[in-house]
Amino acid sequence: MTDRYCVFGHPVGHSKSPAIHAAFADQAGDDIEYVAIEAPLDDFAGAWRRFVAEGGRGANVTVPFKEDAFHLCDTLSERARRAGAVNTLVLGSNGLTYGDTTDGVGLVRDLKRHGVELTGARILVLGAGGAVRGVLEPLLAEEPAGLRVANRTAAKAEALAADFRDLGEIVGGGFDAVEGAYDLVINGTSASLAGDLPPLPDNLLAPDASAYDMMYGAEPTVFLRWAAERGAHIVDGLGMLVEQAAESFFQWRGRHPDTAPVLEKLRQVL
């Protein structure tokens, strides 16, 4: 029987994951089925159980189910435990469900692919929601010189930084506490969706700085335009999307797909 995988979301019709995983599978003539499933908002665990009963081997999980997925897992990776969220479910041969979060690895791989140096870098992360929580562990593992989390609601950034303080140099606060220059600024707020720009000091970017937005689109986000006007090297989050998918694929199939051609194709149809 063909191994079945899916992405759970609500809504999920817009998801690029089926196309990405179909492309990964095609690379090695791997015969898998990957579909998008709109799970009911009040019964994510039931949706996963039904999928497994129908031959499901693993799943990606997107908004709004990443915390529900976290709670149903029998075992978790350390980074998923830290994130409090799961974007990858794996059905073990023992029938137990293992959960991981691959967003942070995806971000770090995409940054490296763009030649962004993380070790020893001064990093500023904007936002303190689930998207940011999911990437802090892999970023700190690269041993930056320091990482500041800045958020509209300062207390959320302070609490988030406290949760990760044992892993490295990390502080949190409001936008008004941001000072000095950064080598890398990552926008993990959803402000871009509304076309908003977090209030940032003008002299934020060090010479040769990079700016990364976890969002992507046909045009650069307001944040990336702001950074480009100040001379930064800008990167949007499409590569992160493909890289997190590749890490999930690896966990299911034991093979690292070639992400470059898949990313190039996606970019063409944005």
| 265 given a catalytic annotation | no
What's the min distance (Å) between Cβ of 193 and ligand ATR? 8
On whether 31 is known to bind a ligand per the annotation, the reply is no
CB 156 within 8 A of CB 128: yes
- Residue closest to ligand ATR, measured at CB: 129
Q: For the CA atoms of 7, 13, 19, 21, what is the dihedral angle to 10 degrees?
A: 0
Determine which one of 6, 44, 65, 66 is catalytic.
66
What's the min distance (Å) between Cβ of 197 and ligand ATR? 8
- Give the residue with the Cβ less far from ligand ATR, 32 or 126: 126
- Give the residue with the Cβ less far from ligand ATR, 58 or 127: 127
Tell me the sheet residues that pair with 184. Answer: 123, 210
On whether 268 is known to bind a ligand per the annotation, the reply is no
What's the min distance (Å) between Cβ of 158 and ligand ATR? 11
What's the min distance (Å) between Cβ of 151 and ligand ATR? 5
Q: Length of the chain in residues, anyone?
A: 270
- Give the residue with the Cβ less far from ligand ATR, 69 or 91: 69
Which runs of consecutive H residues, i.e. helices, occur in the chain?
Answer: 17-27, 44-53, 66-72, 78-83, 103-113, 130-133, 136-141, 154-164, 222-229, 238-253, 259-268
- Give the residue with the Cβ less far from ligand ATR, 191 or 232: 191
Classified as helix, coil or strand, 269 is coil
Encoded tokens for 38: 């709109």
Q: How far is CA 73 from the centre of its chain?
A: 19
User: Token pair 């070790």 is at which residue?
Assistant: 119
Residues that bind ligand ATR (CB under 6 A): 127-132, 151-153, 156, 189-191, 194, 196, 198
Phi, psi of 241 (to 5 degrees): -60, -45
Among 225, 166, 168, 173, residue whose Cα is nearest residue 195:
225
Active site residues: 66
Binding residues: 15-17, 62, 78, 87, 103, 127-131, 151-156, 214, 216, 237, 244
Binding residues for shikimate: 15-17, 62, 87, 103, 216, 244
Binding residues for NADP(+): 78, 127-131, 151-156, 214, 237
